[in-house]
Structure 1
Amino acid sequence: MRKYAVRRLPVLDWLPRYRPTWLLQDALAGITVGLLVVPQGIAYSALAGLNPEYGLYAAFMVSFTYTIFGTCKSVTIGPTVIMAIMIYPFVEKYGADMAILITFLKGCIIALLGIFHLGSLLDFISLPVITGFTSAAAINIAFSQFKSLLGIRHTAESFLDSIYAIYKYRNEIRYSDTLLGVGKNQLFLTSSNIPGQRTGTILQKIGWFLGLSRNALVVIIGTIMAYIFYTNDLEPFSLTRQCLPSIASLPFSTFHNLTYNFLEMTTAMKTTLFTIPVVSTILHSAVIKAFAKGEFLDITQEIIALGACNIFGSFVCSMPVTGSFVRTAINHASGVKTPLGGIFTGSLVLLAISLLTSTFRFIPKATLAGLVIYSMYYMLDFPTYKLLWRAKKIDFFVMNLTLVIGVFLGLEYGILIGIVANFVILLYFSAHPSIQTKIEQIEGETVIVIVPEEAIAFPAAERLRANVMKVSGESSCNMILDCKNLKRLDVTVAENIKLLGKDLSVRGRTIVCSNCCENVNAVLKVVAPELLNVKGDR
């Protein structure tokens, strides 16, 4: 019982072994991540069509929750751009309550995946599909922010809608917003090139800090500029103008122009109710695998932890959360020692909520748009594009198919069609195994040796039989089926091999099986024992 408790509550494992000397490192790493998550939480909330505080509520609650349930010291969970863009259409149509309900239901589904050890099902989603999905998300997100960057106040739900809105309302472009957004992007680019390191000279440390906190600094500068203009009765920028939402019970019904009950809300989610948990779990798994750095990975517990973060977050008006690659990289580079760093991150976010809420209404939308667009560039994984093109063209095709469908039809359809395309390719190669044939002299007799170069499953059974019969029609030699590459055999394949033996006997030839492993031998003994009547394996 104690072992199970420790496995499900990892804090019981590392906290008793905690060293006081680690506290400073965890505090530094936690505060560093907090400086990044505050502006990102605000930006991603706006991206999802929510008040800025929803992203901050998510950031502080999941930081505390992952400290208890998480196993990887470097991983940070919180609001991300992909989660934001996936819930935006529902927030736009049904209001913020829908985002909170999605967070709760998503957490329940992910937790069940972990409890019933179903996380391995996600292994069927390949790298090309994930790459295509994240690239489609980056393109959709970037184009959705161009409206705010240009000061256009109309909404759009998709890539094509964004292009159309920019063209249709081009006369409403506010050049002050455009100048602010472009200027902030230039500031991002400049600050990212500042040399610096955490353990160097004073100047290097300053450079490191400026590069690390550039997101927060850009948002602060934009807010100060907007406030100065506001005090002088000027408003050159489109502002956020949203207030702090109250923390209430879970919204199992909502009112947004119309009243929707729980059944209507869940029905409206359609496939998104299942694609969001899947995408979230895939992204989180990719993050923990990238930063495990030799540590033991308990994928099941990590899935449970992700589910718990979403469930507990939903009780404080959180938007959906998952593992963040950027913030995890910062956390790791800051030298975090244990998950305790999340306590400092959450505390800093809470401090921001309590002290800065009144200033959120002065954040220019163009500043947040610039931050998001800048971040999206780094989601385009050019090295992986090149790798897929050079290594295997079919994988490159699957990636592009997922990307194009995701951009033009929607992210859910993109990942679903990408998965289906992968399964079609898997089934094709499963039904078309590589088979080698060669002629050998064995004990003075010329025989044809058939060597399957990979495992043969039931979709390939008839094709194997047809290929061998074709070879037998071109030669009068007897045959040997070399099973050295077969580690298992299903009954369908064994039955077809038995029928093959009967077909060849009609032509006055024989076929026997050699080099059978224990599993293959056991199946053939039951289905076709006569095919094992061979003097000895070669």
Structure 2
Amino acid sequence: MLDHWPRTTSKYLKREGRRFCSKETLLKRLPITTWLPKYDLECLEGDIVAGCAVGLTLIPQSMAYAAVAGLTPNYGLYSAFMGCLVYVIMGTCKEISIGPTAINALMTYEYSRSGGPEYAVLLCFLNGLIILAAAMCNLGFLINFISRPVICAFTSAAAITIASTQIKGLFGLSFKSNGILDTYVKIFQNIGDTRWQDLTLGLSTIVVLLLMKRLKDMKAAKVRAGDTLGTRMWKKVVFLVSIGRNAIVVIIGLVTAYLLDDHQPFIITGEVVPGLPAVRLPQFTAVVNGTTLSFGDILEDIGSGVAIIPILSILGTVAIANAFCGGKTLDAKQEMYALGFCNLLGSFVQSMPVTGSFSRTAVNATSGVKTTAGGIITSVLVMLALAFLTSHFKFIPKASLSAVIMCAVLFMVEYEMVAPIWRARRLDQLPLWVTFLACLFWKVEYGILVGVAVDLALLLYSSAIPKINVSTIKKEDGVKAAYVLVEPCTGLFFPSVDYVRAAVNKAGISTAEGSLTVVLDCCHLTGLDFTAVKGIEGLCSDFQKRQQPLILANASPNIKKSLACLDPHIKITSTPEELHSLLRCVSQMDAVTTLSNNCAMVHSNSVVCAMVHSNSVECAMVHSNTAETCSGEEFDMINPLLQVTTSAAKPSVCDQPA
């Protein structure tokens, strides 16, 4: 068998390669081929406006996020243009803006601070490879195991952590810290060294940013049908000022610092490497503290970041695409391909890991973007800034960049989700707060893993201990009990077998008093594994020992097939009519005493397990090789499960021959 493995693998790879390189697949993987033939001047106008708006937001944000990642501002700009270009060709959601984000920058800092830019660029390369591999292997479904409460908690904790790291820049302080608690301790220890000039500039910038953010939401700034051309143009200018607020405040800070350079009152960014980055392979070795590290040593240093950053990148992009796809079906696999190539090709221009940005995507959507071609305009603006403006970027005050970051992450704290989660399901508060506290006071990357672990534990708990409804169904007179109905609310698999078996036995002994018929409703059982089948076999044995009837109702064909291995004579009811007929027959034979030896006895030892097949019920007593048909008067009962009542005109199944 092992001798044929290389040949089988080779055939599989060739077949998959031919399928991937087919014309149909290539067109699907290049969505630009769909919209480009329909491109017109109207699309061009919308894309130019949106591209400029996103570019004015992206340039200051990318420089600020580079600082969060522990890199110089030029690396943020390097990360800002390649993703935009690649997504134009491969992206499916026209609103998405790919580039550096606050959370990815924080994660990059966590895993690359010991190695600097070389580690960050290599992380971007590995990020792209892993995302592409996940897309090829259809592993995107793993993202579904991260619940919404965990995502909310992670995002909120990351936002608070990022904002906390920027307080020192806002106050004009300079120190190194490890964790949020250490950050605040050192802020209070160094509070006496606060530079009032930086603090004043930073706080003023925050106030201006918040006010400018509100401009586009004012009624006076919204275009109406009856507006004149001049009014429309004025409102468009107000709108552009609002969405380009980050660039405006940074430029104001830059000009102020430049004019006061003789007696510089602010801590400024400093020299920024000019020009576009060189196109080259990422470095697979690095020199750290005079020691040359191999690729294996770098991977050991990065550790879990190799998996954590791709997961967060996919999660962010797919979530944003779902939010802005306008009700259309999202091709998550294609989004993963696009994101993978954005990172992979970005690493060749010294980019740090990138993903979709919610804030810039919102700007893109509100600016009226028509196609993904808006990313070309954004990319061109970033490259122009790199080529001609980097000599002036050194005058940008760090307090201004800190204010931009704090205002960007301020609205990522999803405090408003606590109340809805509480109302929907209180137990979801557990993964929410465990994730939040672990991310905040331990490590962000470990916090999300802890949250996922708690979620999976709750999921396994609910699977192992499902909700089971037990009710007594009365006869027509409303006094005497007809049978006891047991309804498991979930499927039956190996974690819950023992619990369900115990619950049905308890219902048979206590509620049914050890003699009344018990009906186990199988409508929620979509499938059975081997452990569940053996559990039902043990359940039948328990009822046999008590000589108490047990009926399995509403069984699907799959359940019948799974239970066929128990006993070839076992027949399961599939329809309400079959179950009602069997119950009527049982009650005819003995309406007062137990039914242990009167109906559906096979081989004189088998338990009554819903012996119904092909819409007929054989109520035969098999004893000493003699079969007798049962007869009795008609019996009607109120049956909420079946919603069927018998009539005197309908022949009894007990009149059928055995």
Interval containing the TM-score (normalised by the shorter chain): over 0.9
Are positions 1:209 and 2:234 aligned together? no
Deviation of residue 368 (structure 1)? 0.5
- The change in CA–CA distance for 1:442 and 1:108 in structure 2 (over 3 A counts) is farther
Q: Could you say what secondary structure the match of 1:526 adopts?
A: coil
Cα distance in 1 for partners of 2:143, 2:415 equals 24
Cα distance in 1 for partners of 2:307, 2:485 equals 49
Alignment match, 1:93: 114
The one-letter amino acid paired with 1:342 is: G
Are positions 1:498 and 2:537 aligned together? yes
Alignment match, 2:644: none
Most deviating of 101-110 and 395-404 = 395-404
Measured against aligned partners, the alpha-carbon deviations of 1:240-286 in whole angstroms (never above 9, x if no partner) come to 11432753431111123233221111111111211111111111111
- The equivalences for 1:242-321 within 5 A come to 242-244=271-273, 246-247=277-278, 248-258=280-290, 259-321=292-354
Measured against aligned partners, the alpha-carbon deviations of 1:198-220 in whole angstroms (never above 9, x if no partner) come to 67624422321221111001111
Q: Could you say what secondary structure the match of 2:260 adopts?
A: helix
Deviation of residue 498 (structure 1)? 1.0
Task: Assess if the C-alpha contact under 8 Å between 1:285 and 1:299 holds in 2.
Answer: yes
Q: Could you say what secondary structure the match of 1:103 adopts?
A: helix
Alignment match, 2:375: 342
- The change in CA–CA distance for 1:461 and 1:354 in structure 2 (over 3 A counts) is same
Segments of 4+ in structure 1 off by > 4 A?
A: 441-445, 528-531
- The change in CA–CA distance for 1:108 and 1:533 in structure 2 (over 3 A counts) is closer
Cα distance in 2 for partners of 1:372, 1:385 equals 24
Instruction: Compute the TM-score of the two structures, normalised by the length of structure 1.
Output: 0.96
Deviation of residue 471 (structure 1)? 1.9
Cα distance in 2 for partners of 1:422, 1:222 equals 46
Match of 1:35 among 56, 59, 67: 56
- The change in CA–CA distance for 1:173 and 1:256 in structure 2 (over 3 A counts) is farther
Measured against aligned partners, the alpha-carbon deviations of 1:393-426 in whole angstroms (never above 9, x if no partner) come to 2112211110110000011111000000000000
Task: Assess if the C-alpha contact under 8 Å between 1:101 and 1:250 holds in 2.
Answer: yes
The one-letter amino acid paired with 1:73 is: K
Task: Assess if the C-alpha contact under 8 Å between 1:45 and 1:84 holds in 2.
Answer: yes
Cα distance in 1 for partners of 2:281, 2:527 equals 54
Task: Assess if the C-alpha contact under 8 Å between 1:501 and 1:511 holds in 2.
Answer: yes
- The change in CA–CA distance for 1:368 and 1:461 in structure 2 (over 3 A counts) is same
The one-letter amino acid paired with 1:229 is: L
Deviation of residue 531 (structure 1)? 4.4
Are positions 1:118 and 2:139 aligned together? yes
- The equivalences for 1:108-147 within 5 A come to 108-147=129-168
Measured against aligned partners, the alpha-carbon deviations of 1:159-197 in whole angstroms (never above 9, x if no partner) come to 122112212322322221111111111111222232323
Most deviating of 86-95 and 352-361 = 86-95
Deviation of residue 438 (structure 1)? 2.1
Are positions 1:238 and 2:267 aligned together? yes
How many aligned residue pairs are there?
536
- The equivalences for 1:369-380 within 5 A come to 369-380=402-413
Alignment match, 1:449: 485
Deviation of residue 445 (structure 1)? 8.2
Cα distance in 2 for partners of 1:537, 1:27 equals 68
Most deviating of 501-510 and 235-244 = 235-244
Cα distance in 1 for partners of 2:246, 2:532 equals 60
Q: Could you say what secondary structure the match of 1:16 adopts?
A: helix
Gaps of 5+ in 2: 1-21, 581-658
The one-letter amino acid paired with 1:94 is: G
- The equivalences for 1:394-409 within 5 A come to 394-409=427-442
Alignment match, 1:220: 251
Most deviating of 519-528 and 111-120 = 519-528
Are positions 1:537 and 2:579 aligned together? yes
Cα distance in 2 for partners of 1:17, 1:528 equals 65
The one-letter amino acid paired with 1:399 is: L
The one-letter amino acid paired with 1:236 is: P
Task: Assess if the C-alpha contact under 8 Å between 1:501 and 1:510 holds in 2.
Answer: no
Q: Could you say what secondary structure the match of 1:486 adopts?
A: coil
Deviation of residue 20 (structure 1)? 3.5
Match of 2:520 among 471, 481, 486: 481
Cα distance in 2 for partners of 1:353, 1:533 equals 74
Cα distance in 2 for partners of 1:10, 1:376 equals 32
The one-letter amino acid paired with 1:139 is: I
Cα distance in 2 for partners of 1:55, 1:529 equals 70
- The change in CA–CA distance for 1:529 and 1:415 in structure 2 (over 3 A counts) is farther
Alignment match, 1:192: 213
CA RMSD of aligned residues (A): 1.9
- Over the matched positions of the two proteins, sequence identity in percent amounts to 38
The one-letter amino acid paired with 1:125 is: I
Task: Assess if the C-alpha contact under 8 Å between 2:80 and 2:379 holds in 1.
Answer: yes
Cα distance in 2 for partners of 1:98, 1:116 equals 26
- The change in CA–CA distance for 1:422 and 1:431 in structure 2 (over 3 A counts) is same
Most deviating of 458-467 and 236-245 = 236-245
Q: Could you say what secondary structure the match of 2:113 adopts?
A: helix
Gaps of 5+ in 1: none
Match of 1:471 among 507, 524, 531: 507
Cα distance in 2 for partners of 1:386, 1:380 equals 14
Match of 1:461 among 490, 497, 513: 497
Task: Assess if the C-alpha contact under 8 Å between 1:512 and 1:531 holds in 2.
Answer: no
- The change in CA–CA distance for 1:405 and 1:533 in structure 2 (over 3 A counts) is closer
Task: Assess if the C-alpha contact under 8 Å between 1:50 and 1:91 holds in 2.
Answer: no
Deviation of residue 530 (structure 1)? 4.6
The one-letter amino acid paired with 2:486 is: I
- The equivalences for 1:156-175 within 5 A come to 156-175=177-196
Cα distance in 1 for partners of 2:370, 2:571 equals 59
- The change in CA–CA distance for 1:413 and 1:66 in structure 2 (over 3 A counts) is same
Cα distance in 2 for partners of 1:281, 1:448 equals 50
Task: Assess if the C-alpha contact under 8 Å between 1:513 and 1:531 holds in 2.
Answer: no
Cα distance in 1 for partners of 2:411, 2:441 equals 21
Are positions 1:362 and 2:395 aligned together? yes
Task: Assess if the C-alpha contact under 8 Å between 2:127 and 2:340 holds in 1.
Answer: yes
More helix by share: 1
Q: Which has the higher contact order (CA 8 A, sep 6+)?
A: 1
Deviation of residue 511 (structure 1)? 1.4
The one-letter amino acid paired with 2:579 is: D
Match of 1:513 among 552, 556, 562: 552
Alignment match, 1:26: 47
Measured against aligned partners, the alpha-carbon deviations of 1:347-385 in whole angstroms (never above 9, x if no partner) come to 111111111110121111111101111112100113322
Most deviating of 372-381 and 12-21 = 12-21
Task: Assess if the C-alpha contact under 8 Å between 1:41 and 1:59 holds in 2.
Answer: yes
